[in-house]
């Protein structure tokens, strides 16, 4: 049951020009089997119909704010964190879809595993109808991204160890340690966010269940900002190497990360009791 002043979960969604996706994203959150949450959306000065679509929803759990100017993803994410009142924070992007049991599974997991500060999950790739035919044919075969259940530093060296839109974490713990998104690492601010958590010796875990559908439509921020993403990614990896006194001979290739983690749905077995 929703507790308006102190919800158990704050679902945080930054949005910029999300008119193609935001209606389905919000609808999936409102359809959760777990309902003690607030849904906070921060519009980073969209120029499309995003604001109008959000306003069409009539649900007291929804909170909407709009930046007067485009402030960027890291500033917007931190603004959402400052607004959140939940014990747990669930991260979500404006073009991704939560499965109906996402919040319940993650809340139950964190309630049971007091040692875990942040959890992610496996996720399924999804390509919307408006995308090109070849992209839909390849993506919608049923690909599942399987992150390690208990990631360590070696995993982090290869790349981010939690898929960002699947993350749920303990708000108080992160606030006390002043872990926020850092603008200088955008658009890989999510990778740095997880890196900070590991540097503070927090325990991370991935739930071996598919709880989110990740929309790979071709206009994803990571694809549009591919060059900037590579620079930020390598900056983080170099800092990790410096921290552990390693000499960088090569940067771990992304195709190898994909080969290690991507599986067809029939190849994976979800674990219900974790």
What is the structure's pLDDT at 222? 57
What is the structure's pLDDT at 24? 96
> Where does the pLDDT of residue 90 fall: very low under 50, low under 70, confident under 90, or very high at 90 and above?
very high
Structural domains present in the chain: 9-267 (3.90.550.10)
What is the structure's pLDDT at 224? 58
| Contact yes or no for 76/14 (Cβ under 8 A) | yes
Task: Indicate whether 219 pLDDT > 70.
Answer: no
Chain segment 221-271, per-residue pLDDT in tens: 555 567 888 899 999 999 998 888 877 777 888 888 888 999 998 889 998
| Contact yes or no for 42/66 (Cβ under 8 A) | yes
DSSP assignment of 47-64: SSSHHHHHHT---TTEEE
Chain segment 21-52, per-residue pLDDT in tens: 999 999 999 999 999 999 999 999 999 999 99
Cis peptide before 87 (omega within 30 of 0): no
> Where does the pLDDT of residue 1 fall: very low under 50, low under 70, confident under 90, or very high at 90 and above?
very low
Q: Tell how many helices (H) and how many strands (E) occur in the chain.
A: 11, 10
∠ at Cα 219 (216, 225), nearest 5°? 110
In angstroms, the first-to-last Cα distance of the chain is 24
Chain segment 130-188, per-residue pLDDT in tens: 666 666 777 778 899 999 999 999 899 889 999 999 999 999 999 999 999 999 999 99
């Amino acid at each position: 049951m929703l507790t308006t002043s102190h919800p158990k979960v704050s679902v945080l969604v930054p949005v910029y020009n999300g008119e193609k996706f935001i209606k389905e994203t919000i609808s999936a959150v409102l359809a959760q089997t777990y309902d003690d949450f607030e849904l906070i959306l921060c519009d980073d000065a969209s120029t499309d119909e995003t604001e109008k679509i959000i306003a069409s929803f009539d649900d007291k759990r929804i909170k909407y704010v709009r930046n007067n100017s485009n402030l960027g993803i890291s500033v917007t994410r931190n603004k959402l964190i400052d607004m959140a009142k939940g014990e747990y924070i669930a991260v979500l992007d404006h073009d991704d879809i939560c499965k109906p049991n996402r919040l319940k599974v993650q809340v139950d997991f964190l309630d049971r595993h007091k040692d875990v500060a942040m959890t992610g999950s496996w996720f399924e790739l999804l390509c919307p109808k408006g995308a090109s035919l070849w992209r839909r044919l390849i993506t919608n075969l049923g690909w599942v991204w399987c992150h390690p259940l208990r990631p360590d530093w070696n995993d982090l060296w290869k790349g981010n160890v939690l898929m960002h839109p699947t993350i749920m974490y303990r708000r108080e713990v992160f606030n006390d340690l002043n872990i926020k998104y850092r603008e200088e690492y955008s658009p890989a601010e999510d990778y740095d966010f997880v890196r900070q958590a590991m540097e503070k010796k927090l325990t991370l875990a991935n739930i071996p269940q598919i709880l989110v559908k990740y929309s790979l439509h071709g206009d994803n921020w990571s694809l549009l900002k591919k060059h900037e993403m590579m620079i930020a990614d390598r900056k983080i990896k170099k800092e990790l190497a410096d921290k552990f006194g390693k000499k960088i001979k090569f940067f771990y290739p992304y195709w190898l990360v994909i080969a290690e983690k991507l599986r067809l749905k029939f190849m994976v077995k979800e674990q219900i009791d974790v």
